[in-house]
């Protein structure tokens, strides 16, 4: 595969622009995953970088890796404490009502023998909050900015489909599916105690079509 774009690197952190279709962890189907490529991201360091957080297989964009165990612990704690600012861009399969807002919709995991597992809205589930803003509308689809305040599995995908009533384009689980899911981790800001914050952005990929062209 093509080399993975590097967005940021220093002695304790590495941020890559994860391509769509690349799983972070090794899937059961044997597909090559980021975990299999970690050794190629050493760039002279003694150990491969450790993956700090996760993006869905079909989500592209900013992904943080840690150069050493101490940095991994600090970064992980920042994610768990909600100190990391994440911005996503998504194309929706339609246009939501309004121009901005905040989605508060608790989520839970459910599974069936026939359909496997998925995430569903559930008042008894884990709290999940997402800020959103409409950026542009073209050909009956909307480009939306999402700012998740929590980090639940499939949070943005379920909040789009059930909170806004318009699923992310190409979502095979919560929408109509399609060639590719149009969800992108566009910016990541990670605070650090003794160094300037890591603040990186990943450009919209070509699969976003006219939205990527500005």
Catalytic residues: 56
E strand residue ranges, 23-181: 50-51, 60-66, 85-92, 100-104, 107-112, 116-121, 129-138, 141-148
Q: Per the structure block, which two tokens stand in for 47?
A: 């150990």
Instruction: Using the Cα atoms of residue 153, residue 121, residue 179 and residue 27 in order, give the sign of their dihedral.
Output: positive
Instruction: Enter the tokens of residue 175.
Output: 């929408």
Cβ atoms of 28 and 63 within 8 Å: the answer is no
Spatial separation of the C-alpha atoms in residues 14 and 50, rounded to whole Å: 9
- How far apart are alpha carbons 148 and 214 in whole angstroms? 24
139: Cβ–Cβ under 8 A, 6 or more apart, which residues?
210
Cβ count near 8 (within 10 Å):
16
């Amino acid at each position: 595969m093509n080399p993975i774009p590097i967005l940021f690197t220093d002695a304790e952190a590495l941020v890559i622009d994860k391509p769509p279709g690349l799983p972070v962890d090794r899937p059961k189907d044997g597909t090559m995953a980021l975990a299999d490529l970690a050794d190629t991201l050493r760039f002279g360091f003694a150990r491969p970088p450790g993956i700090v957080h996760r993006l869905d297989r079909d989500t592209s964009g900013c992904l943080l890796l840690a150069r050493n165990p101490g940095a991994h612990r600090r970064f992980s704690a920042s994610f768990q404490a909600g100190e990391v600012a994440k911005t996503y861009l998504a194309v929706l399969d339609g246009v939501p009502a309004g121009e901005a807002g905040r989605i508060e919709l608790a989520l839970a995991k459910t599974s069936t023998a026939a359909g496997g597992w998925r995430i569903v809205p559930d008042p008894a589930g884990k709290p999940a909050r997402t800020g959103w803003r409409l950026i542009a509308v073209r050909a009956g689809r909307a480009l939306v900015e999402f700012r998740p305040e929590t980090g639940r599995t499939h949070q943005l995908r379920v909040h789009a489909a059930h909170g806004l009533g318009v699923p992310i384009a190409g979502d095979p689980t919560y929408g109509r599916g399609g060639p590719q899911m149009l969800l992108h981790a566009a910016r990541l800001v990670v605070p650090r105690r003794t160094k300037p914050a890591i603040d990186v952005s990943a450009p919209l990929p070509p699969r976003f079509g006219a939205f990527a062209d500005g």
